């Protein structure tokens, strides 16, 4: 199965329609216990608050993210775990986006779906060199730099 086919299958299975969902999945995989306000997540990822809220709901629905509230603070404690999914699709998606080819396949698939009008699916502006500094994009850029150092042709 190609990376593109795997990306399509996993995105369908998980119901992921926006690049922000992927970026938050990667963020919380790297920071499995985080005390943050939504505004901080928006600042770290470059998405607006509405998109952050929608993507957080996706991750909670998938069962990979838990959150607690404290009435004294605006911040919430987020607890990430793919173990509750018994490996499954969320773990497979994280494994896929760990490699440059997989990240690009996921981004291409989300761009392809953008014409469906799903929940603010990724736009061509976000996919290309836009103003939004997404985690998936920054990972791709670091891979490109590493490839350039090795003399790879883009």
**Domain residue extents for the chain:** 3-147
Give dist(CA 106, CA 100) in Å, integer: 10
The CA–CA distances, whole Å, from 99 to 19, 59, 77, 105, 106 equal 16, 21, 29, 10, 11
What is the band of 105 on the pLDDT scale with cuts at 50, 70, 90?
very high
The secondary structure of residue 20, as a DSSP letter, is H
Secondary structure class of 80 (helix, strand, coil): strand
What is the band of 26 on the pLDDT scale with cuts at 50, 70, 90?
very high
Question: Average pLDDT, whole number, for the chain?
Answer: 78
**Which pLDDT score is estimated for 147?**
47
What is the band of 122 on the pLDDT scale with cuts at 50, 70, 90?
very low
3-147 CATH choice from 1.10.10.10, 3.40.190.10, 3.30.505.50, 2.60.40.1930: 1.10.10.10
- On whether the pTM is more than 0.75, the answer is no
């Amino acid at each position: 199965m190609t990376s593109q086919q795997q990306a399509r299958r996993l995105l369908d299975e998980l119901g992921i329609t926006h690049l922000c969902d992927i970026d938050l999945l990667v963020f919380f995989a790297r920071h499995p216990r985080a005390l943050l306000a939504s505004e901080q997540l928006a600042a770290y990822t470059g998405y607006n608050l509405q998109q952050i809220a929608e993507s957080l709901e996706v991750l909670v629905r998938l069962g990979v993210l838990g959150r607690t509230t404290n009435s004294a603070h605006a911040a919430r404690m987020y607890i990430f775990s793919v173990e509750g999914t018994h490996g499954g699709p969320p773990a497979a998606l994280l494994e896929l986006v760990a490699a440059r080819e997989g990240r690009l396949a996921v981004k291409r698939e989300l761009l392809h779906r953008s014409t469906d009008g799903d929940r603010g699916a990724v736009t061509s502006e976000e996919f290309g060199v836009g103003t939004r500094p997404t985690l998936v994009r920054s990972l791709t850029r670091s891979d490109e730099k590493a490839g350039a150092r090795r003399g790879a042709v883009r």
